[in-house]
C-alpha cells in the first residue's frame, strides 16, 4: 500500500461473507467514442481480479452506458448502447463469465451526473457504470471468499495509537463519494489488515479538494448535501462493514479541505487530495 506509513506483513489467507449488497464502478469515454481508451482499459484491468475472485458471490452484473448532452437523442442512445456493449465484451475477454452479465443498457444523455457545464463535467457524463449485485438468496448462499492480500500492508506493530495513516491511493471521483476503480485493491488491503488485527479500532477520515475560502466542505453531487468529506469516509466505513468488519471497531468523520496533501496545480494533485486517512484508535 503506497501510504505515508507503508509496511509489510507475512502472507496469509482469510475469508469473508457477503450479504445482499451492491457496488458500482465507472469508466469514462472520449467525445463521440465508443471504444475503450487506455485509461478505461487500465481501470477495468484493475477490476478484473476483483470480479474473477468474487465470481461465486455475484448475483448479477448490470452494465449501463451514458453520454453527454451533445448530439441528438437517437444518436446518443446508440452510442451509449455501444459503449456498454464494448465494456461487456472487454470483461468477457478478460475472463468474467458471460452468464453473470444480466443486463446491458444504453440511456443516451438521460441521467447526467452534472449540468454538462464544462469539458470535465461532460467527460464525467460520457461513462459506463458497472453495477455488481451480491446475493444471499437460497440460490446464492453467503459465499466464503478467499482474499489474497497484496505484499504491501500496514504493520500495526509499527504504527502508534492516535497516529494517522494517509492513504494516497484510496481516491474518489470529483464531487462524489464513489471510490475510483483503481482504489479497490487498496481498500482490500485495508480490509485484510482489519481482519488480521482483531483488536484494531480505527477512525476513517475523509478529505476533499478544491475548497474555496468560504466553504467548509464540498457538496456531494449525488446527495446534494455539503458534507462530501463525511460521505467519503462513510463510503469506506460501509465497505468494511459490508465485508464483515464489526461496526464497533469503526468510526468516521470528515475534515473538508483543511488538510490538503499537495498544492492543487493539476488534476492529479486534486485527485490526491480527494482521499481518506485512517487514525489508529486502539490495537
Each as own residue / partner, the long-range contacts of residues 190-193 (CB below 8 Å, 24 or more positions apart, any chain) are 190/1, 190/236, 190/240, 190/278, 191/16, 191/147, 191/239, 191/240, 191/243, 191/245, 192/14, 192/147, 192/149, 192/153, 193/9, 193/153, 193/154, 193/156
Residue 45 clears pLDDT 80, i.e. is over it? yes
Q: What is the pLDDT of residue 138?
A: 33
Could you tell me the pLDDT band of residue 4, with boundaries at 50, 70 and 90? very low
- Residue 230: the pLDDT is 95
**Across residues 264-277, what is the average pLDDT?**
87
- What domains can be seen in the chain, in order of their start residue? 7-13+149-282 (3.30.1330.60), 18-134 (3.30.1330.60)
Backbone angles phi, psi at 164, to 5 degrees: -120, 130
Q: What is the pTM of this model?
A: 0.51
Question: Rounded to 5 degrees, what are φ and ψ at 105?
Answer: -135, 150
At 140, the pLDDT band (50, 70, 90 cuts) reads: very low
Average the pLDDT over 118-132 and give the result. Answer: 90
Note the pLDDT of residue 52.
66
Amino acid at each position: 500500500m503506497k501510504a505515508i506509513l507503508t509496511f509489510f506483513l507475512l502472507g496469509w489467507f482469510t475469508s469473508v461473507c457477503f450479504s445482499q449488497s451492491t457496488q458500482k464502478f465507472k469508466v469514462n469515454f472520449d467525445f463521440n467514442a465508443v471504444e475503450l481508451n487506455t485509461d478505461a482499459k487500465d481501470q477495468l484491468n484493475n477490476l478484473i481480479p476483483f470480479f474473477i475472485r468474487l465470481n461465486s458471490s455475484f448475483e448479477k452484473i448490470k452494465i449501463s452506458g451514458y453520454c453527454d448532452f451533445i448530439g441528438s437523442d437517437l444518436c446518443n442512445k446508440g452510442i451509449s448502447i455501444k459503449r456498454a456493449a464494448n465494456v461487456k465484451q472487454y470483461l468477457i475477454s478478460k475472463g468474467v463469465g458471460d452468464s453473470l452479465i444480466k443486463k446491458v443498457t444504453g440511456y443516451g444523455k438521460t441521467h447526467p451526473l452534472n449540468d454538462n457545464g464544462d469539458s470535465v463535467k461532460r467527460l464525467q457524463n460520457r461513462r459506463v457504470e458497472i453495477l455488481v449485485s451480491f446475493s444471499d438468496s437460497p440460490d446464492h448462499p453467503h459465499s466464503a471468499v478467499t482474499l489474497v492480500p497484496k505484499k504491501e500492508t500496514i504493520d500495526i506493530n509499527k504504527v502508534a495509537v492516535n497516529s494517522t495513516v494517509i492513504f494516497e491511493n484510496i481516491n474518489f471521483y470529483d464531487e462524489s463519494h464513489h471510490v475510483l476503480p483503481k482504489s479497490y485493491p487498496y481498500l482490500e488491503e485495508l480490509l485484510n489488515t482489519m481482519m488480521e488485527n482483531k483488536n484494531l479500532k480505527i477512525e476513517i477520515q475523509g478529505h476533499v479538494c478544491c475548497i474555496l475560502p468560504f466553504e467548509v466542505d464540498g457538496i456531494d453531487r449525488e446527495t446534494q448535501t455539503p458534507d462530501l468529506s463525511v460521505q467519503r469516509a462513510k463510503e469506506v466505513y460501509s465497505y468494511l462493514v459490508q465485508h464483515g468488519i464489526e461496526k464497533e471497531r469503526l468510526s468516521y468523520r470528515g475534515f473538508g479541505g483543511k488538510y490538503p496533501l499537495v498544492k492543487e496545480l493539476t488534476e492529479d494533485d486534486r485527485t490526491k487530495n480527494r482521499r481518506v486517512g485512517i487514525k489508529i484508535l486502539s490495537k
